[in-house]
Amino acid sequence: MLKIAALRPFARCGFIALIGIMLTACGGGGGESPTFSPNPPAPPSGSTVTITGKVTFDRIPFDAQAGQGLNPAATIQQPARGIVVEAIGASNQVLATTSTDSNGDFSVQVAIDTSLQLRAKAQLVKTTAPTWDVRVLNNTNDDALYVLDSAVFNSGTANSVRNLRAASGWGTTSYTGTRAAAPFAILDTMYRAIQLVTTASPSTQFPALNVYWSTLNKPTLSRSCFEEGDLGTSFYTTGGFDQTQCDTVGRTVPEGIYVLGDFQQGDTDEFDQHVLAHEFGHYLEARFARSDSIGGEHGDGDKLDLRVAFGEGWGNAFSGMVLNDPVYRDSFDGMSDDFSIDMETDDTRFSDGGWYSEASVGEIIWDMFDSTNEAGDAVTLGFAPLFSAFIGEQSTTDALTSIFSFVTAVKAVAPASAAAIDQLRNGEQIFGTDAFATGETNAGGDPTVLPVYRPIVLNQAQQSVCVRSANGVGNTLGYSKFFRLELSANALVTVAVTGLPDPATPLSLAATDPDIFVYRRGVVVEAGVTDDDSSEVILQRPLPAGTYVIEVQDFDLSAPSSIPRCMTIAVTGT
């Protein structure tokens, strides 16, 4: 996505009563009166009856014209596919459980003449291969699960049909009712993403995934407190860090996808299917493959760190593959506007292309997938080879994950298409021929970023290297520099970096707070991050034989600047 980087125990949750339907979880809901079939099936001969029905939700689609946002006047009903449906009796006893099919239809058997209600849970569950468990929770209400309940009724003595509808809650110019449709719209995009993955890997076992949505989730930039809805943007996180900016005692952030929903703050994402599928793509990176992305803000025309460019470009392309639609759209300003990227065509907002451009990465991956072969695109691989490369060689590469490593992995899976893939890659001004970008000539306007990976050899002379923040701070092109270290045998290694101006680089300054990160297949195995020191040393650390990437940067580069900050680096050992 082109932005930065609800069931508690049922008795504790409040209810919102509607016309015949209730939604629990204190933050969503809506519906209409149960629908009865005028000609229900004949009553059974035994002591049970069958209740069938369909669960639907309102979807507010995008306006046909890009830039016009969502169009509530064109709201449609869509089936809630694969969700859990329960028949609930007295004292919240579960009488029967099932899941809706691909048409949103369900069927349960219950005892005759029984008081009950039907509950549609915002949860996708499948327990036989392929398996999954996806829930939509309210992060501002103790992570309660969203559920949609019918009114209480008597099962009677004849089979019957009862439908449930999650309404959007939209009035004339704003939301005036409970937004019951949102959790189910989110789940439907998760369902589509799962179906795409299973076309390539039919026995996939998806790790449990929670999606956190609330009408209080807002794009606050000055504060981050997820339990109070201060998200900044929609995102996926592996979690595990503390929320230190909350007014209450901080807690460890759970893994999951967090989704904006505050209409008053002008940005909701529950109907932005590309945004949701993009974040599912990040979940796939983290749980099935590997993501080396460092995250951070990104947008139109940004020249990004190669790891970030790949992660965001992959997410964009994956969303297009899920929806079979290359036009990525993200609504904002309430519903009245949207941002879009057409991955089928070059977009001049994103410069002339390159390995540092998420737009270039997205276009390459999309064009390898799709069946439309425009000029310069002679590749039609579909999803399976891309997914095979993604969870295969891309996840084990010795390089950092980037478009270089991904293209290399895809060509290994589909060697007959290698020449056409290279042509596609070259069309985006990317020329590196392997995972380590050998032969890359596109410097993005800064010759010092090449080579992408500089060779460094044990016990050889120190090198001078300069970093800069001309493209922004933290996650941009040129902010970090990378070295490739090959160890043919186990070694006790010292990495020493000292801030010194480079005589060969005009106007250069000494780095004042250099940092060092040593990676083995994307994992930091050693780091030197001492504060406010002009030198940094990782001293005599045992490293097994293998290929390592060393990243250096100057932490004091806290504002955009074209002035080079330079340092020397040497790797010694025995």
Cα torsion 371, 130, 273, 105 to 10°: value is 110
Which contiguous run of DSSP H or E holds residue 412? helix 403-413
3-state secondary structure 307-325: HHHHHHHHHHHHHHHHHCC
Q: Tell me how far apart the alpha carbons of residues 166 and 174 are, in angstroms, rounded to a whole number.
A: 17
| pLDDT, tens digit, 9 for 90 and up, residues 170-202 | 999 999 999 999 999 999 999 999 999 999 999
Q: Over 90: is that where the pLDDT of 478 sits?
A: yes
Those residues with Cβ within 8 angstroms of residue 293's Cβ, 6 or more apart along the chain or in another chain = 285, 307, 308, 310, 311, 312, 401
Those residues with Cβ within 8 angstroms of residue 39's Cβ, 6 or more apart along the chain or in another chain = none
Least confident of 3-12, 71-80, 101-110, 376-385: 3-12
How do the residues of the chain divide into helix, strand and coil, expressed in percent and rounded to 5? 20, 35, 45
For residue 362, the Cα-to-chain-centroid distance in whole angstroms is 14
| pLDDT, tens digit, 9 for 90 and up, residues 346-391 | 666 655 689 999 999 999 999 999 988 766 678 899 999 999 999 9
Q: Which of 227-241, 336-350, 425-439 has the highest mean pLDDT?
A: 425-439
C-alpha atoms less than 13 angstroms from C-alpha of 35 in its C-beta half-sphere: 11
Q: Are 525 and 518 in contact (CB under 8 A)?
A: yes
Tell which residue, 393, 298, 316, 407, has the closest CA to residue 355. 407
Find tokens 């997938």 and name the residue: 369
| pLDDT, tens digit, 9 for 90 and up, residues 248-268 | 666 788 999 999 999 998 899
| pLDDT, tens digit, 9 for 90 and up, residues 18-62 | 223 345 443 333 333 333 344 445 555 569 999 999 999 999 999
Determine the pLDDT at residue 25: 41
Angle at 435 between CA 306 and CA 423, to 5 degrees: 90
Determine the pLDDT at residue 317: 98
Tally of CB atoms within 10 A around 396: 13
Using pLDDT thresholds of 50, 70 and 90, give the confidence band for residue 16. very low
Determine the pLDDT at residue 15: 24
| Mean pLDDT, all residues of the chain | 90
Find tokens 């040393």 and name the residue: 537
Determine the pLDDT at residue 352: 66
DSSP 352-386: T--TT-HHHHHHHHHHHH-S---TT------HHHH
CATH top-level class for 448-573? mainly beta
Count, residues in the chain: 574
C-alpha atoms less than 13 angstroms from C-alpha of 235 in its C-beta half-sphere: 23
Instruction: Give percent of the chain with pLDDT exceeding 70.
Output: 89
Cα torsion 390, 391, 392, 396 to 10°: value is 90
Determine the pLDDT at residue 83: 98
Write down the domain spans for the chain.
10-184+206-216, 296-427, 448-573
Those residues with Cβ within 8 angstroms of residue 536's Cβ, 6 or more apart along the chain or in another chain = 496, 497, 514, 515, 516, 528, 529, 530
Residue type at position 118? L
| More reliable by pLDDT, 44 or 130 | 130
CB-count exposure of residue 500 (10 Å: 0-12, 13-18, 19+): middle
Tell which residue, 35, 44, 57, has the closest CA to residue 118. 35
